[in-house]
Amino acid sequence: MNIRADQLQTTEDSPSSSTGESRSSLLRIKDSNDVYEPFVQCTICQQILSYDVKNGTNSLKLHVQNCTKKINLPKSTMPIDCYTNKIAAVSSDNKRMVTLACSKCCAFDMRSFNSVHGDGFKQICQVLIDIVINMA
């Protein structure tokens, strides 16, 4: 099925038996002769879904509900940039201190799953705190 090759096109016509939110989120697909194909396109995720009038629209309704839920869910993890201020420049001395602290962390705490419990990790945190305090 190739919508972009000008062989097929979406229309504003929704599946005849769809109702509510799913009706506005689904587009019927026609061929170049204006004949409906047994497919619809979800306007939320752009996915092409199989549709036949005889089979009804329950699966299409469920698809639209799931797409809507995914959009409305907050992201479970936010990027670290959201929690930090943009610092213009970090001095080479500060970079060296962090590199040294990371090296010590690796030397002291070679247990990857326990890395946040060791003395090396505490040293890295302290160096980072000291750098932020000195920059403020």
Both 21 and 63 in one domain: the answer is yes
CA dihedral (80, 83, 86, 89) in degrees, to 10, reads -70
pLDDT of residue 14: 59
Q: Are residues 106 and 90 in the same domain?
A: yes
Cα–Cα nearest to 25, from 54, 55, 49: 49
Cα separations in angstroms, 109 against 7, 9, 56, 98, 134: 61, 60, 60, 16, 27
Specify the pTM: 0.45
| pLDDT higher than 80, residue 22 | no
pLDDT in tens, 104-119: 777 777 766 566 677 8
Q: Give the Cβ contact number of residue 123 at 10 Å.
A: 17
* One domain for residues 68 and 119: no
- Domain assignment of residue 55, given as a range: 3-72
